Amino acid sequence: MNKINFHPSIILILFIGLFGGFLKELIIFFVVIMFHEFGHILIAKLFKIKVKKIRLTMIGGIIELDDYQFKKTYQKILINSAGIMINLLLIMIFKVIKLSNDVNNIIVQYNYLMIVVNLLPINPLDGYKIIYDMFNIFFDEEYSLDCMYYLSMISIVICSILLFIFKLYGYYIIICFLSYKTFKDYRLSKYMILKHYQTINNL
């Protein structure tokens, strides 16, 4: 099994970047994404957790870890926070190290963007995962999943309204992707939980 694969949304973004005249910015953005994902992988490796698959999408990477659901809560939170920490580190580095002003500004801005976006409580972003792991400390898995689904959808609606107010219409492609991902993962998780309960009842 290949550990790294690409979501079809990557092709769409590359196509838009190529014909939209901002291919350089897009390449820098994907390099920033790779560093962000490296942060997650680094902490996972420190906890001796095997990386099963890395899937790159238009909003970043989705990393599948071996037996992730059985890991300790503090390990999950540290793993999901690591990408944001790497982005903060890159901002500090490029505030000191000067390439060209243009490249430096792009790198710093994209790292800020990665931090802000990943703090949103929307599936599959880091902010969503961190809050979900915290919910699981106090509530059962099904209740936590339901709460996070509604929080994710409410956040998507709020972001959609803000994008409309500030006329950032190009970002609606990301909103559509997040909406699809949130709904799809919620349905799958609910099915898995129901199947688990049915298995227990049949024992």
Q: Read off the pLDDT of residues 111-134 as tens digits, 9 standing for 90 and up.
A: 999 999 999 999 999 999 999 999
pLDDT above 80: residue 30: yes
Q: Which two tokens stand for residue 199?
A: 């298995």
Residue from 52, 53, 59 nearest 9 by CA: 59
Q: Once rounded to an integer, what is the mean pLDDT over residues 92-100?
A: 86
For the chain, state the CA radius of gyration.
Answer: 18
Provide the residue ranges of all domains of the chain, joining segments of one domain with +. Answer: 1-118, 120-203
Confidence of residue 1 (pLDDT cuts 50, 70, 90): very low
- Strands (DSSP E) found in the chain: 4-6, 51-57, 60-65
Integer Cα distance of 148 and 59 in angstroms: 19
